[in-house]
Amino acid sequence: MKKILAIGLLTIVVGACNKADDYYHLGIDAFNAKNYEKAIVYFDSTLMLDQNNASAFINRANAKYELNDFENSLTDFAKGIEMWPKDESNRKELAMIYSERADAYYELKKYDQAIEDYSEAITKDATLISAYIGRGDAYIKKQIPDLAKADYEKVISLDNKIANAHYGLGNFYYDSKDYESAIVHYNLAIEIDNTIYAYYMDRGDSYYMIEKYNQAIEDFTKAIELKPDDAKAYIFRGDAKDNVDLGQDALADYDKAIEIDPANSSAYYNRGITKRKLGDKKGACLDFNKAIELGRDDAKSYADECK
């Protein structure tokens, strides 16, 4: 899941001895250096000496999250939340913790629990942008687009320079088949942050859907520059090139996609269609049969021509 705010390294230490405090701050230093394994070791040491250190639990949870150990991060989040001071002065910090735990639920595809935690975070801090973004994304996964749209719009009302909110709205309009509106919001997302692969892929796909193939090619090319080892961008660019009579160039893109991902049935299927258009019946048949072997059943109608 895309995080739009830096993880808060929270520093409440309850009853820690000096040695535990030393380990705790070493853990923070390791976390800031993105050495998450070492951070966990230091937070372990903190908790051996001070079992009531809520911050150590929360920051160890965040380190585990960064290592994709989402299940174990939830255990630490639960302990940290239980211990965290509940007075008004700590309300915003607690909101952030709920939002971070929701991120872990989201990664585990436990979208109902994620929405519950994001909502709790928003109850505690109605300006917490990360919670609205996360909840909006979870609503999309739950196929509740209107609630997602409301959350993305809320973010924009709080700060119209949040790229992920515009991207989320772009996805909402794309799913609604309003591709022109989707492009407007993808444009805004890219104006704010022009380094995100998905923004170009989805804007390119929107251009493709309204048959603006040259613009689509430009966006897929930019996506490839940002992520050159992703087969999907080459397939999409190949499809767009095929629609502007650049068949040989399209074949080169499908070839590259297969080089990256030899088990990608779409790359074989689409290459087969292009070869068929170019009169290479034998090559097309080989590709259609390979696509079928990889599970692409809709290639069977073309493969029947090869008999």
Task: Tell which CATH architecture fits domain 1-84.
Answer: Alpha Horseshoe (1.25)
CB-based burial label for 275 (10 Å; 0-12, 13-18, 19+):
buried
What pLDDT score does 6 carry?
35
Single-letter code of the amino acid located at 9: L
pLDDT at 5 over 90: no
Above 60 in pLDDT, residue 34?
yes
d(CA 198, CA 146): 22
**Exposed/middle/buried for 9, CB within 10 Å: 0-12, 13-18, 19+?**
middle
Residue spans of the domains in the chain: they are 1-84, 263-307
Record the tokens describing residue 225, joined without a space.
């520059």
Q: Mean pLDDT across the chain, nearest whole number? A: 93
Q: Is pLDDT above 50 for 217?
A: yes
Residue 15 confidence (pLDDT) = 43
**pLDDT tens, residue by residue, 138-188:** 999 999 999 999 999 999 999 999 999 999 999 999 999 999 999 999 999
